[in-house]
Amino acid sequence: MNLTTEKLFEIAQYSFVRMDGAWFMALARKHGIETAWEIDVDAWSQFSYVFGKKIRKDIITNPVWPQSFLDTLEIFSKVLKIEGRKVSVESDKIIVQVTDCETQKAIAKAGIADCGIVTVQAYQGIIKGLFGKEMGVNVQHTKNLNQGDDCCEVIIFPEN
């Protein structure tokens, strides 16, 4: 069987999101939803930090704010199949709006909660992995598709 790289990547995207969901649901069944959310936040914090470090080591060896974060976010979004994404930079703020996200769809289908806190932790982790743990940023999840908003919106800005 000969699969194209594109087809393998599509299968990997699907598998990553489904494994994340299956792991979360199994944990929630065994230990309760609150424990599952706490551990999920910890897992995404660690994963995103390591992801940011990997990008710094192999791709963006001398990161510059904000462009290197935007480039890393593009990679992260492709890996996780976060589509329908609009990113804008206004003064010192980065605004990310997402209308099509595989993880959000899976959470909505399962009817378990929303992914806002994990989104905040993931963006913070990427930034700390890419720029170093001392990089201070504020990440605010201001809109949420799972709560009836027109998009998921995250606003990111440096701490002063």
Q: What is the pLDDT of residue 88?
A: 95
pLDDT at 22 over 90: no
Tell me the percentage of the chain whose pLDDT exceeds 90.
Answer: 57
16: left (phi over 0), alpha (psi -120 to 50) or beta: alpha
- Residue 88, CA distances (Å) to 74, 76, 156 in order: 13, 17, 11
Q: What is the pLDDT of residue 91?
A: 86
Tokens 């974060």 -> residue:
69
Residue ranges making up the domain that contains 44: 5-158
Q: What is the pTM of this model?
A: 0.88
User: Span 118-138, mean pLDDT?
Assistant: 93
Q: Which amino acid is at 60?
A: I
pLDDT at 107 over 80: no
Tokens 């710094």 -> residue:
56
What is the Cα–Cα distance from 9 to 117, expressed in whole angstroms?
Answer: 27
What pLDDT, in 10s, does the model give residues 49-96? 999 999 999 999 999 999 999 999 999 989 988 888 899 999 889 999
Q: How many domains, in total, are found in the chain?
A: 1
The SS3 call for residue 100 is strand
Closest to 124 (Cα-Cα) out of 156, 86, 77: 156
Q: Which amino acid is at 6?
A: E
CATH code assigned at 17: 3.30.1380.20
User: Lowest mean pLDDT: which of 3-17, 29-43, 78-92?
Assistant: 78-92
What is the Cα–Cα distance from 142 to 47, expressed in whole angstroms?
Answer: 23
User: Span 145-154, mean pLDDT?
Assistant: 85
User: Span 38-49, mean pLDDT?
Assistant: 94
